[in-house]
Chain A
């Protein structure tokens, strides 16, 4: 299994998986909260909030990476304070790659979850309320379970997006083998040297398989879980 990939390529793949996993898991609660707020609440500044959530989708990734650098870099507004107080830093660490991936994948995740929350019948939520369930309970016992197919599909899409993140990652945490070099940045590095097409090709195949696998999985999950949830 390992002999058709070099140690460095193998490291990049495992790091990509780790980065994408943590980016997805940590951002999921925030994604659900943001999606619910956008789908069901009305509050001042909602349009601005919506725009900020979607910004990473539209901004050049290098700009997002730069903004992360000036915010969370060792000398960044938040990063400097964070490092002095807790000794923790995102700068040039795999955690920084995970942060960049999470930010870039966030709009995709929120969109999928928001659509599925909007599809939940508000009349069922109202019925749960008349049975004594307070709004947080209604969310936990009615809205979230019924939106679960979209939540899972959104998480899988975000995972795939996080696996493929390039621009913000390389800008924010560079391309350090073993620390911040993911599959896309490893492909980029391989293509910078003459004769690098071979290693690049192997990584490209991996990237395509992961992306297609994620798309299939999200399709499958939304169908199977939706059927289960609806009791059909």
Chain B
């Protein structure tokens, strides 16, 4: 279980949240500018809050005098903008995280699950937005994360693309890896989430 309790001041905006994310899909939801991305980045280790604690089970990832860098946190991160490495092919992108995790044995299974076999030899520049997001999903999974972090993975896609990706997200959810899912879209919360954390103005809302 992931436990988060962090505070951070950004000028006149204060982020101050505490919650825990059990197994399943925990949605962090709220309007833009509520601090959702800062929260997920603090979990990933891409953002260092002023104070507080981030724990996964018994392991403290961030706390007084403790800072585990992102590459040792073993969280798979799916970004809104995919962030595939442009100089590598799809296959190399998929193998990238797997290599650091000790091997790409599951590559075939993940490729089949996400339906990206025809894309393997292409470069990210030659993919559509939906294809990129499927590859990013596969890349994060192949790094064998203990938890997946997703920051508005569907927000940059049109409605048709969204419907194309959602079934794959459900398949990933059903693999059993816990997911922390940032979104401002109610329909995604309804369809995917098993628990919900509502954020508004940097604080938890009702």
Asked if residues B70 and A231 are in contact (CB atoms below 8 Å), the reply is no
Residue numbers in B under 8 Å from A142 (CB-CB): 85
Asked if residues B86 and A133 are in contact (CB atoms below 8 Å), the reply is no
Asked if residues B87 and A130 are in contact (CB atoms below 8 Å), the reply is no
Question: Once the chains are docked, how many angstroms separate the CA of A134 from the CA of B44?
Answer: 14
Residue numbers in A under 8 Å from B71 (CB-CB): 129-135, 137-138
A interface majority secondary structure: helix
- Most chain B Cβ neighbours within 10 Å, of A129, A132, A231: A132
A-B contacts, 6 of them at CB < 8 A, read A128-B85, A131-B71, A132-B71, A132-B74, A229-B86, A231-B126
Question: Once the chains are docked, how many angstroms separate the CA of A134 from the CA of B68?
Answer: 12
Residue numbers in A under 8 Å from B81 (CB-CB): 123
Q: Which residue of A lies closest to B97 (CB)?
A: A131
Partner of B87, one of A126, A132, A135, A145: A145
- Most chain A Cβ neighbours within 10 Å, of B96, B140, B143: B96
A63 within 8 A of B: no
The interface size bin for chain A is 20 to 34
A71 within 8 A of B: no
A interface, CB within 8 angstroms of B: 123-124, 126-135, 137-138, 141-142, 145-146, 229-232
Asked if residues A127 and B83 are in contact (CB atoms below 8 Å), the reply is yes
Given that A130-B46, A131-B96, A132-B101 are known contacts, is A231 also in contact with B77, CB under 8 Å in the complex?
no
Partner of A146, one of B86, B123, B143: B86
Partner of A130, one of B76, B123, B125, B126: B76
Q: Which residue of B lies closest to A124 (CB)?
A: B83
Residue numbers in B under 8 Å from A128 (CB-CB): 85, 96
Task: Please give 8 more A-B residue pairs, beta carbons under 8 A apart, in addition to A131-B143, A132-B74.
Answer: A130-B46, A130-B73, A131-B76, A133-B96, A135-B71, A137-B71, A231-B123, A231-B126
- Most chain A Cβ neighbours within 10 Å, of B44, B100, B125: B100
B31 within 8 A of A: no
Question: Once the chains are docked, how many angstroms separate the CA of A212 from the CA of B59?
Answer: 60
Residue numbers in A under 8 Å from B46 (CB-CB): 126, 129-130
Asked if residues A231 and B79 are in contact (CB atoms below 8 Å), the reply is no
Interface string of B91-122 (1 = CB under 8 A from A): 00000110011000000000000000000000
Asked if residues A132 and B79 are in contact (CB atoms below 8 Å), the reply is no
Question: Once the chains are docked, how many angstroms separate the CA of A231 from the CA of B139?
Answer: 18
B75 within 8 A of A: yes
